[in-house]
Structure 1
Amino acid sequence: MSFRKPSSEVQSRARTPEDKAKVKAAFIAAGRRLVAEEGLAAVSLRRVATLAGYAPGAIYQYFRDQQDLFLQIRGEDMQAATQLFRRVVARTADPAERVKKLFIGTAHYWLSHMDDFLIIFPAPGARVASDGFAKSQAVRDILALYYETVDALFDTLAQPPLSSRVAADMLLAAVHGTVLFPQMTPGMPWTKTRTMVRLLVTAMVDQWVAQGQGARRKTAARKAS
Structure 2
Amino acid sequence: MSQEQQPTVRVMVVDDQTLVRHGIRTLLELGGITVAAEAGDGAEALEVLKQLSEPETRPEVVLLDLRMPRYDGLWFLKQAQEAEIEIPVLVLTTFDDDTLVLDALRAGARGYLLKDVTVEQLAEAVHALAAGGTLIAPSITDRLVRAIKTAPPPAGAAGAAVEPLSERETEVLRLVAEGYSNRQIAELVHLAEGTVKNHISTILVKLGARDRTNAVLRAIREGMLG
**Higher helix residue share:** 1
TM-score by length of 1: 0.29
Larger Rg computed on CA atoms: 1
**Greater RCO between the two (CA within 8 Å, min separation 6)?**
1
Answer 1 or 2: which has greater strand percent. Answer: 2
